[in-house]
Amino acid sequence: MDNNDYSDELYFSGMTEKQKKIYESALEIFAEKGFSGTSTGEIAKKAGVAEGLIFKHFKNKKLLFQKIAFMAVEKTILPLTILRTKKILSENYTDLRFFLNLFFNERLDFIKKHRTFLRIIIQEMSFDAELQNFAKKQFTEKMFPMVSEFIKRHQKKGVIIDLDPSIIIRMVMSSFLGYSILRFILSSDEEWDDDMQIKSMIDILCNGLIKRK
Amino acid sequence: MDNNDYSDELYFSGMTEKQKKIYESALEIFAEKGFSGTSTGEIAKKAGVAEGLIFKHFKNKKLLFQKIAFMAVEKTILPLTILRTKKILSENYTDLRFFLNLFFNERLDFIKKHRTFLRIIIQEMSFDAELQNFAKKQFTEKMFPMVSEFIKRHQKKGVIIDLDPSIIIRMVMSSFLGYSILRFILSSDEEWDDDMQIKSMIDILCNGLIKRK
Amino acid sequence: MDNNDYSDELYFSGMTEKQKKIYESALEIFAEKGFSGTSTGEIAKKAGVAEGLIFKHFKNKKLLFQKIAFMAVEKTILPLTILRTKKILSENYTDLRFFLNLFFNERLDFIKKHRTFLRIIIQEMSFDAELQNFAKKQFTEKMFPMVSEFIKRHQKKGVIIDLDPSIIIRMVMSSFLGYSILRFILSSDEEWDDDMQIKSMIDILCNGLIKRK
Amino acid sequence: MDNNDYSDELYFSGMTEKQKKIYESALEIFAEKGFSGTSTGEIAKKAGVAEGLIFKHFKNKKLLFQKIAFMAVEKTILPLTILRTKKILSENYTDLRFFLNLFFNERLDFIKKHRTFLRIIIQEMSFDAELQNFAKKQFTEKMFPMVSEFIKRHQKKGVIIDLDPSIIIRMVMSSFLGYSILRFILSSDEEWDDDMQIKSMIDILCNGLIKRK
DNA sequence: TATGAATGAGCATTCATTCAT
DNA sequence: AATGAATGAATGCTCATTCAT
């Protein structure tokens, strides 16, 4: 994973040079080949360390993978998503369409950048209840209240239809998740007009969510 | 995968008793543990046959898996989906809301029934371009024209907004796919009020897709 | 092995069509890949029969191979060699150089034709004492007396030096065997001027074996 | 292969104790049973190591065999042959008969000592072009010039007949190779009077190669 | 901290052979 | 005579993990 939009140093504090190398190499190979498709030997080779060192530092392969997955979710995916969301929502002039537009485009860029790794995260999540719960908890505690409050505010203004915010959020998330999966995981290398597609999707969503007079 | 709603005999014609046993055992274990989590030894044991027989009949593990995945997509998932869709669309009184309602509910039941296996189909698809293309082709050739025509008919009647049918279809599919993934793959055993959720989702979609006077 | 210079029917008498097919296919594949490099499955496939049939007819793989090796030695290599030798020796005007010339050239042609198979025979012989003894016995009983008598006759005439005929025979055979091995087994596809080489070899041998006045 | 006449340490430098054990065990079993007749399990058992270690050190069975074969040819067979040949040829009083006598006897002793292993080297060579070329190259570059020069020297003195040295060398080698094969590979445990046989063979060769006045 | 030799269980796959039909 | 399904032992090889240094 590249580090254009966040600083790595934070998460690597306390790691030796070699430990970092292991972490980074493992991240790349896991992303490309999945958990069971990756061997510790390959990781060690890529990292330029002795295979035994992996086990000194990360106990075993599963834990290495989980540490990477958790750290990716905890330190990168969620904070960035939350941070950006907070920023977008904090603007006074932000309405639903504006929010969805920025959110979808930004998150899609993020997915574009990290897609191989995200694929692994999703797959791992579908087997790993702990990672699931962690992500859900983070979302529920940090993302949900923020967005929910935004929706409620606009509902009070009579702009958004009167549905339970959680339902609206789930609808928006579902659309985005489904779109991303069709877009990236299934149709990996398609020519695809994202701008138009997202605009249409948002049009329909806004059409469905915004109150008429 | 159970066989409540279709007949197995067709696909198993020409298979020995033991061959069928291998197929079925493999299906179950693959569904539970994924491709690389499953060993041929385990399959053989469950099927009650010598391990070598697997290779006599299916050449190798990958081909066994692919045969199962393809047959599931080709003989079960797609035909049933297409058949049901055709039936729903053929009714004269069918409008968008009615269609979405039946479609979402039925397909969700289908997913409920076969969820473990579908999970590995999706995962496999994300790595296997051949399976991907096969599914895309089937969809494009068999599902798309049918639904597209339905949409166009209703657009002519002035009921559905004037967007390219392919965009409308993708929007609907994305919502359903995203919902299903949140519902089953991530939140595997949640208490979850499907009826209400689906109803809301359809409300929003219809709101967004149906023309106002 | 082709059958330009002998008739197959003799050895195949009593064999069914499929049995013959197995025999021929096995011969070819053994010749190409050696004993343990050849699988009964491959033989069956090439012969166009069920694998089980091989074992009905030839009991097991080892016996199939041995039958082929023995039959090749017994029915083809030795009879032909003996027949040709007898014919060459029977001519009144035959002297040592003439004999060596015809013998070396003819046997070399034979080797050229059957080289892959002969390779197997030699390899098998080095492990299979029974085949060894069989070949030695055949040679001692049928080839040796004939050639020995020819040598003795010429020694009496004062043409060939007075060494035990068995030693002379062994010298000649060694030269030919060594030459053939260098020629075919090691230098498989070399450009190589056989006529000149053989002529030189015979020159030296005759030089060494023919008495001077 | 025993190590009476050369020092092992040189070739085993950098090898672990266990690695050496694998090498030695493999050498013995390969020599006895040939390449495909030998299993890695058997090697590991004899060497007293875990089977996996073989693959850590030698990558795979084929490479293990080749390393042994190459090392045998490169470090043992050729150097010894070349060394002895050089020594014999360097003596001023050396004539053809003297050279052949020492060479044949010494090389025959060498073959006697290592015959099981040499058998598989020859057999492997007939399938393995790389090993073939390696041996040929070594011979052409190191043995041939030395002997060729010796022959030319004696030809100038008018002692050896005027044939292309390469032909003379091939004749001598063929005789020796053919003799060795008849002697050891085919007639494995015969009573056999080597001294007399070799003397006769050399007599005939010298007779054929030495010029008369 | 770091190495790399060593382990041993596990894996997919092959193969000669048997047997019911 | 012929088939081909079925066997089960064996094989080469991989891999996560341990341990002495």
Q: What percent of chain C has pLDDT over 70?
A: 91
Which residues of chain D (17-46) touch nucleic strand F at CB < 7 A? Answer: 36, 38-42
The pLDDT value given to residue D46: 96
Which positions of strand E lie within 7 Å of protein CB atoms? Answer: 1-20
Is C9 a domain residue?
no
Q: Give strand letter and number of the nucleotide nearest B55 (CA to C1').
A: E13
With 90 as the cut, is the pLDDT of residue D104 above it?
Answer: yes
Whether residues D182 and C174 touch (CB distance < 8 A) is answered with: yes
Q: Give strand letter and number of the nucleotide nearest D39 (CA to C1').
A: F11
Is A74 a domain residue?
yes
Number of domains comprising chain D: 1
3-state secondary structure C144-180: HHHHHHHHHHHHHCCCECCCCHHHHHHHHHHHHHHHH
The pLDDT value given to residue D169: 95
Beta bridge partners of D160: D210
Q: What is the pLDDT of residues A76-110, one digit of tens each?
A: 888 888 888 999 898 877 899 999 999 999 999 98
A173 to chain B: closest CA residue: B178
State whether the beta carbon of C18 lies below 7 angstroms from any atom of strand F.
yes
Please tell me whether residue D93 adopts helix, strand or coil conformation. Answer: coil
With 90 as the cut, is the pLDDT of residue A45 above it?
Answer: yes
Closest CA–CA distance from residue B208 to any residue of chain A (Å): 4
Is A44 a domain residue?
no
Question: Once rounded to an integer, what is the mean pLDDT over residues C174-191?
Answer: 80
Whether residues D207 and C205 touch (CB distance < 8 A) is answered with: no
With 80 as the cut, is the pLDDT of residue D187 above it?
Answer: no
The pLDDT value given to residue A4: 41
**CATH code for position B172:** 1.10.357
CA distance C199 to C197: 5
Q: CA angle at residue A86 from A212 to A172, to 5 degrees?
A: 45
Burial A57-67 (b: 16+ CB within 10 A, else e): bbeebeebbbb
Whether residues C182 and D176 touch (CB distance < 8 A) is answered with: no
Which chains, if any, share at least 3 CB pairs under 8 A with chain A?
B
More confident residue, D36 or C50: C50
With 70 as the cut, is the pLDDT of residue A161 above it?
Answer: yes
Q: What is the pTM of this model?
A: 0.84
Whether residues A204 and B209 touch (CB distance < 8 A) is answered with: yes
Which residues of chain C (39-58) touch nucleic strand F at CB < 7 A? Answer: 49-53, 56-57
Query: D touches C (3+ CB pairs < 8 Å)?
Result: yes
Q: Which residues of C touch D185 (CB under 8 A)?
A: 122, 125-126
Whether residues D207 and C161 touch (CB distance < 8 A) is answered with: yes
State whether the beta carbon of C51 lies below 7 angstroms from any atom of strand E.
yes
The pLDDT value given to residue B8: 43
**How far is CA C125 from its chain centroid?**
12
Question: Once rounded to an integer, what is the mean pLDDT over residues C70-98?
Answer: 86
| B194: CB partners within 8 A, 6+ apart | B108, B183
Residue of least CA–C1' distance to F2: C53
CA distance A160 to A171: 14
Alpha helices in A34-184 (DSSP H): 40-47, 51-58, 61-71, 78-90, 96-127, 129-138, 144-156, 165-180
Q: What is the pLDDT of residues D114-127, one digit of tens each?
A: 888 888 888 778 77
Q: Which residues of A touch B201 (CB under 8 A)?
A: 167, 170-171, 174
The pLDDT value given to residue D1: 39
With 70 as the cut, is the pLDDT of residue C34 above it?
Answer: yes
pLDDT in tens, chain B (213 residues): 333 444 444 567 788 999 999 999 999 999 888 888 899 999 999 999 999 999 999 999 999 999 998 888 888 888 888 888 998 898 877 899 999 999 999 999 988 888 888 887 887 787 777 788 888 888 899 899 999 999 999 999 999 999 999 999 999 999 999 999 888 766 655 667 889 999 999 999 999 999 876
Distances (CA, A) of C22 to C42, C56, C62, C77, C117: 10, 11, 14, 21, 16
The pLDDT value given to residue A3: 39
Distances (CA, A) of A171 to A206, A208, B207: 11, 11, 13
Token couple for C26:
């096995």
Q: What is the pLDDT of residues D43-96, one digit of tens each?
A: 999 999 999 999 999 999 999 999 999 888 888 888 888 888 998 888 877 899
Across the A:B interface, residue pairs with CB atoms under 8 Å apart total 124
Q: What percent of chain B has pLDDT over 70?
A: 91
With 60 as the cut, is the pLDDT of residue D189 above it?
Answer: no
Domain holding C171, by residue range, is 62-209
Token couple for D158:
């008018």
With 90 as the cut, is the pLDDT of residue C121 above it?
Answer: no
Is C124 a domain residue?
yes
- Chain B residues with CB under 8 Å of a chain A CB are 34, 36-37, 119, 122-123, 125-127, 129, 132, 135-136, 161, 163, 167-168, 170-171, 173-179, 181-182, 185-188, 197, 200-201, 203-209, 212
Point out the residue among B181, B209, B212 whose CB comes nearest to the CB of A212. Answer: B212
Is B177 a domain residue?
yes
Is B60 a domain residue?
no
Which residues of chain A (108-137) touch nucleic strand F at CB < 7 A? Answer: none
Is B118 a domain residue?
yes
Q: Identify the top-confidence range among A22-31, A114-123, A180-189, C77-86.
A: A22-31
Sign of the dihedral defined by the CA atoms of residues A64, A70, A71, A77, in that order:
positive
Q: What average pLDDT does chain D have?
A: 87
Whether residues A205 and B201 touch (CB distance < 8 A) is answered with: no
Is A21 a domain residue?
no
Closest CA–CA distance from residue B13 to any residue of chain A (Å): 32
CA distance A140 to A159: 24
Question: Once rounded to an integer, what is the mean pLDDT over residues A7-29?
Answer: 81
Q: What is the pLDDT of residues A46-58, one digit of tens each?
A: 999 999 999 999 9
Point out the residue among B136, B175, B185 whose CB comes nearest to the CB of A175. Answer: B175
Among the listed ranges A92-96, A157-161, C119-123, D14-18, which one has the minimum average pLDDT value? Answer: C119-123
